[in-house]
Every structure is written in C-alpha cells, then in structure tokens.
Structure 1
Amino acid sequence: MNGRVYADEFIEDELISEFVINTVNGGEELKPPKIEAGAAIVIDAETGRVLYEKDAYSRRAIASTTKIMTGIVAIENGNLDDKVKVSKRAASIWGSTIKLKAGEELTLRELLYGMMLKSGNDAALAVAEHIGGTVENFVAMMNAKAKELGLKDTSFKTPHGLDVEGHYSTPYELAMITRYALQNPVFAEMVSTKNMTITNRSLYTTNEMLSLYPGADGVKTGYTGKAGRCLVTSATRDGFQIISVVLNCASRNKRAESSKAILDYAFNNYRPYELLKANQELGQVSVYKGKKSSVSVVAVEGIRLPLSKEEKENLETELTLYDSINAPVYKGVEVGKIEFIANGKLIARSAVKTAEVVPEKKYGDYFRDVLDIWFKLAKPE
C-alpha cells in the first residue's frame, strides 16, 4: 500500500506557487500587512508575546490544526513504541486518511507521523482510542490539557477537527497550544519532517511552508468547509522562533501568502533583546537592626523579549524597591520589582529579591559598636 496524498480534510489539488522564496531583507521595516485570512496572529515562541494580530481572540473552527493538541497529549501520555491495533471506527472515518485498515497494527509513533504529516483522520482516531481507551475519554484529556494551559476559548469535540458544533479555538489560543507543544522535542521533530516512510506507506507533509518559507520548521495545516484553509507555521531565524496562525483562508495560496506576510512582518520588525539576566544585581536595600546596613538585591527572572526598533529606542526601566527591611533578612525575600516600559506600555516585569542573609544585631553587637566608637574617639590624633 503506497500513495502520495497531499490532502487535509478534503483533497487539495491546488498548486502552490513558489512566491515565498523571495523574502524581504532582514532589517527592512514593514507596515502591518493586509492579509486574506479571517483571523490571524504571530507570537514569539519563547515568551508568547504577540507581534501581530487580526481578530485573534474570536472563536473559530480550526479544522485539522486540532491535531496539534492531539499530538502533544498522545506524546505526553503514550509510549511511542506501543503497537496500536486499528479499530473499525478509525478505519471508516472520512476525509483525509492514511488508508488504515481495521485490524492493522502500527506503532504509536507511525500513527502520529501519519496524523501530523498527512493529516490522517483515521490515524487521529486510532491514537485517541489507544491513549484514552475511547475517543471520548481522549477528547476529555484534550480539554483537560487546554484547561491546564489556562485556555478559556478552546473546546474540543474530536481528535481530528472535522466540523462539529462546539469544536473551536482562537488564533491566540491555538498559537499558545503550539508554543507549548513545540517545547517537546519529539513533537518538534515530527512537525518539522517533510516526508517519512512508515509501515507500507510513504508520507509527505501537507504543510507547504516547510518547502517554501526559509526557516520554516512546522507545524500543521487544516481545511474544512466551515474552517476554510488554516495553517499554523513555526519559523526560526538566528535563534529567533516565531509562530503564526491563519484561519479561514479561501485557498492554499492565500493561506501561504498570508502566513508569509505576517511572518515577514514579525522577522523584519522585531529582534530579541536580553533586557535582564536572572540574578542580575540591581542595587541595595537598607536593613534596620541588621549586622550589615544594607542587603544586595537581584532580579528573580531573566527577561529576553522581542522588540521593534521604536520600542528599543523608547525603552524605559523603572526599579521600585522597599525603603528598608527589618533584620533578620533571609535570602530570596521579595523586596520590589523592575518594570520595562515601551511607548508608555508595560511590556515586561520581574520581581526583585534579596541575594544574601543579614542576621539581626544582638546585644553583644551593639556593645561592640559602642566600644568601636569609644576607641575611635579616644585614639590620639
């Protein structure tokens, strides 16, 4: 059984042009693009900072981009070398498939590649039944993971993303799911793969951006009648990784063009800067009744953030510390905050903590202080 299928929920036989190869030069500032997508977003993969958005918080059908959550839940809860027996339910699903047959056995790893590369709905059901016991139990696991990630506008009804009432997410939350999933090296490797041979099958990715966009390293396509053409893309250049989402595009070309436009916009308008190092010393706070008169304070967290040229030029830092702290002082006590403000807007913050211990003065310490003063006064000039 061999076949090359470039399809998602429906067969997509539309050819993709080579337009993406001619990218703009790094450093050339771009204006926010006008794109032919119903909703879209670009975020920084490291911090989650939003770099571009268009109606990014509206609930929408997301088609097979659903499988991003299916994939990460399966990877986190399964053994990739497990043998999975395909059920009749999985083998009979419609739309994009890898042509699984009831009773056939593949490893969980192979099924995940079939699901992520070729968007196999049959593979998604087989994965769900294996991990969850039933599809319904697995969908509950997907929703539990969404809740764990703090998502408020995401609801899963299936592991494959075919149009069902009540199955939705937003560009922002889909980007945040992707950001989380890409932190898993197994997931990241799968979604960056262009082709793969598994049992009796040659798989070729449905993700046109992997071949057309320089630096693209993921993630997932989607296409249903309700959702339109959808695409989640990850791209990395010089260690700067960003994630784009476009939903409800009219064609494969339009979703690729829209993805290119917003990725170019982000890469050419933003650069990552290290604003603060973890444990970076920031000053001193006075200590009342301590063996030392002050204590060193440091940043709790490091901050590395993508900034536009304008933001970098107008960046302000505000350090707020306690006037004093009573002894005894323990290491790691929060004593203030440091904030970074660009164009009047707070863009990052870290708490500030004590870096050392300062014991409280005892009676003997005060007595020695008095003696020191007396000897200094009594010492002849």
Structure 2
Amino acid sequence: MKKIILCILILNLFTLTINEVHAEEVSIPEIKSEAAILMDSKTGAILYEKNARNKMFPASLTKIATAIYAIETGNLDDVVTVSKEAVSTDGTSVFLEEGEQVPLKKLIQGMLINSGNDAAMAIAEHLDGSLDRYEEQINQYLQEKVNVENTHFTNPHGLFDEDHYTTAEDLALITNYALKNETFRNIYGTKELKWTGQSWDTTLLTHHLMLKGEIPYEAVIGGKTGYVPESKFTLATTAKKDDLELTAIVLKGENDKDIYDDTKNLFDYGFNQFKHSLISKSDEFITKGKTFTTGLKDVMVTVPKSSYEKKITADGKLNFTNAEGEMVQSIQLVENNKMQTVSNHQLIKNDENKTMGIYGKFAFILIILGGLVIASKKIKR
C-alpha cells in the first residue's frame, strides 16, 4: 500500500513539472520601428513594448484624439462653417471651401478616413473657437478622461511642432479609450465612404493598407496612418480574434513596409501567445491573515496561453507571471468590496514577482522523494 501511495505522489509531482516543461515558448517579435506597443484594448494589458514611453511625434495619429474629443464634447449634428484658416491648412485635405457648411460628423469622417487636415482644423475651431483654446482643452480632456501623462498636443492634425508629442503607450491608451465609443469604432473601421463636397465629389478610401485589404490581415477592424518627415511613418491598428481585441501602435518606421510588417508581427505574437481569463468577484485570495477579492465585479485579465502563475502580495496585489517569472499583468485586489484597479505590465523581469520555476520544482520534488525514502526505510526497520 505504501508503495502505491509513493508511486502516486511521484507521478503527480512529475506530471506537474512536465506540464511546465512542455509549455509553449514565447517568441518575442523583432520590431524595426523606433517605438511600438501591443495592448489589449479590453483589459489594458501591455503584451509587448519597445521604447513605449519615449517622447515621439505622432503625425496624423493625433486625429484619433481629435475624433474622440469631438464625438464626446461636440454635437455630431452641428453644421460647421469652414473658415479661411481651415481651408489653408497644409497637407492632406478633403478640399473644403471657405464658407462651406459641413456637419460635424462628416468632418470627423473626412479627417479619420482621408486624413483631412482641413477637416481637423475646422473641427477644432468649431469646438473651441481658436487653436490656442483647442490646445488647452484637448490636453485637459486627455489627462482627465484617458489619464495620459506624457502627451501634449498643440494642433488637431499632427503637423510637426516641437511641442506636439506623445508616446506609443499614450497613443494606445487614447485609441483604446476611443474604441469604447461606437461612433468612433464605426468611423475608425470604415474602408470607404461616398463624399459629396462643395468642390469635391469622390469616394474616400482609407489610407490604412491592412484595413483596406491591400495587405491582408483578416482580424483588422480599424486603423489610422500618419506621416510627416520628422515623425517618419506611424501606424495605429486594432484587430480582433474571438474575444481578444488588440491595439498595435508603431512609431517612426523608415518606410511603409516596416510599419506594416511590425504590426503583423505584433498581432501574430499577441493572438498566438495570449488569452483572457476571468477572475470572479466571488474568488477569495488570502495572504497574511487578510482576505482579498476583486470587489463588486468580475475582472477580465490577459494571461499567456502557456503556463502562468498567480501570486498575491501582502498588500493585495495579484500578479500574473509567465513560466519565466516575468510579470504579464497585475490587479490590485481590495477588502470590503471596494472597486478594483488594474495596472498593466509588459513582459519585464521583476524579482519580487518571480515564481518557483521549473528548476525550483525539480528541487522540491527531490526533497519530497528524499523524505519519502527515509520514511520508508524507517518503517521497514
């Protein structure tokens, strides 16, 4: 009987270890662009980052912020009278005419789909009266609504200004915030739109080659392109497979090929390696005599498809780490049914959150087996 129990213990311990040994290896993508980030648009988990908090020039990715600001603070049915200043804005346009009257929603469509700088300026003037006032209001809006910390915009279109900057991380946060709005999602994902203007009748086509289908990626549901010489090529893209929706931001690519290759590699990595896991509000986590929960609602987190560990700290932070002990995501648990907050982490080594790992478990197995052998010998005597 003792031999049977010993065999069962050995089998269980080795099964635990084998599951981890055969976990799928994570292949980190090689990104050519100067800065990049891959973020889960639902949980906010950062799945990959490269220079994601470096100060960068966004070019026309600025228009993502302008669009959600206009949608949330303006009236989409307002009729905007286009000014001389808006018409004279440099760069890509939808060929507005001075005095032309255009609904606000149509201007947002022209700005996002065709990247019209004239439409962006007309929106800013309509909402805030002047560019100076717009600069003040858009930055306040982004700080209060999105909680960005490293962004300052001086215009609505992204034409170069030394003081007009952001980061890959902030752009992902802005995009994911905007995606919560159905009007934004619809425009951001529009491939073509019939356009009738005072001096220009055409069909607007998205400039985003993956969304358009010229560079096929079936999961892509929206995107925005950008370019000025100082920023080089920039790209924001959102893709969805099953319940996993990811946003990729790549900044300062040398050419079109690089930014689309980078985006594809990021999505391939994200969809192949990660999944959602639900932490129920009824789940309890006990540490140092304290009981923690997620609060009043279930919490969705993003975890590796391969093996991962959950570890709770003394202050109630629940950390999710991969097989190498690298943190993927962290949620702050609470006592007494308070609401939870989520903090996000790229796969960065963090000694405080490292788990035992494969070799530690082998050592643990040897200790247990040694104890069992000694106990068995004593029993025989």
Shift of the 296–186 alpha-carbon distance from structure 1 to 2, 3 Å rule, reads: same
Question: Are 1:48 and 2:48 counterparts?
Answer: no
Distance 2:192 2:331 in 1: 42
Compared CA separation, residues 204 and 134, structure 1 to 2 (3 A): same
- Out of 254-263 and 116-125, give the one that drifted further: 254-263
Check whether the contact 2:303–2:329 (CA below 8 A) recurs between aligned residues. Answer: no
**Matched residue, 2:298:** 302
Aligned-partner Cα distance in 2 for 1:233–1:189: 14
Q: Call closer, same or farther: CA 1:316–1:117 in 2, change over 3 Å.
A: same
> What's the counterpart of residue 264 of structure 1?
268
User: Which residue is 2:329 aligned to?
Assistant: 347
| Correspondence for 1:102 | 98
**Alpha-carbon distance, 1:319 to partner:** 7.9
Please tell me whether residue 216 in structure 1 is matched to residue 220 in structure 2: yes
Deviates more, 1:247-256 or 1:196-205: 196-205
Which residue of structure 2 lines up, in the alignment, with residue 31 of structure 1? 27
Partner of 1:162, secondary structure, is coil
The residue that corresponds to 1:315 in the other structure is: 309
Change beyond 3 A, Cα 1:337–1:204: same
For 1:261, give the aligned amino acid: N
| Structure 2 unmatched runs, 5+ | 1-22, 338-381
* Cα distance change on mapping 1:29 and 1:99 into 2, 3 Å: farther
Q: Is the 8 A contact 1:303 1:348 kept in 2?
A: no
Change in CA separation of 1:354 and 1:225 when aligned onto 2, cut-off 3 Å: closer
Q: What is the letter of the counterpart of residue 242 of structure 1?
A: L
Taking only the aligned residue pairs, the percentage that are identical comes to 34
Q: Is the 8 A contact 2:303 2:328 kept in 1?
A: no
Equivalences for residues 1-381 of structure 1 within 5 A:
31-148=27-144, 149-200=146-197, 201=201, 202-210=203-211, 211=213, 212-274=216-278, 276-280=279-283, 298-300=293-295, 301-310=297-306, 313-318=307-312, 337=316, 339-342=318-321, 343=325, 345=327, 347-354=329-336
Q: Distance between the aligned counterparts of 2:336 and 2:129, measured in 1?
A: 50
Check the 8 A contact 1:63/1:162 in 2, yes or no: yes
Contact kept, 8 Å, 1:90 with 1:125, in 2: the verdict is yes
What is the one-letter code of the residue matched to 1:339? L
Distance in 2 between residues matched to 1:207 and 1:89, nearest whole Å: 27
Q: Deviations over 1:249-268 (max 9, x none)?
A: 12222211111111111111
Distance apart, 1:49 and its partner CA: 1.1
Give the secondary-structure state (helix, strand or coil) at the position aligned to 2:333: strand
TM-score, structure 1 normalization = 0.74
Which residue identity lines up with residue 268 of structure 1 in the other structure? N
Q: CA RMSD in A?
A: 2.5
Q: Is the 8 A contact 1:33 1:261 kept in 2?
A: yes
Deviation at 1:131, TM superposition (A): 0.8
**SS, match of residue 256 in structure 1:** helix
> TM-score of the superposition, structure 2-length normalised?
0.74
Q: Is the 8 A contact 2:45 2:328 kept in 1?
A: no
Q: Cα distance, 1:337 vs. partner?
A: 3.4
- Aligned-residue offset at 1:309: 3.3
Matched residue type, 1:349: I
Structure number having the greater helix percentage = 2
What is the distance in 1 between the residues matched to 2:217 and 2:103? 31
Residue 266 of structure 1 aligns to a residue whose secondary structure is helix
- Alignment check: 8 A CA contact 1:29 1:268 kept: no
Q: Residue 193 of structure 2 aligns to which amino acid in structure 1?
A: M
Alpha-carbon spacing, 1:105–1:40, altered in 2? closer, same or farther (3 Å): same
Q: What CA distance in whole angstroms lies between the structure 2 residues aligned with 1:296 and 1:182?
A: 35
- Give the secondary-structure state (helix, strand or coil) at the position aligned to 1:190: helix
In our comparison, the structure showing a higher alpha carbon Rg is: 1
How many matched pairs? Answer: 303
Gaps of 5+ in 1: 1-26, 287-294, 321-335, 356-381
Q: Per-residue deviation at 1:28? A: 8.0
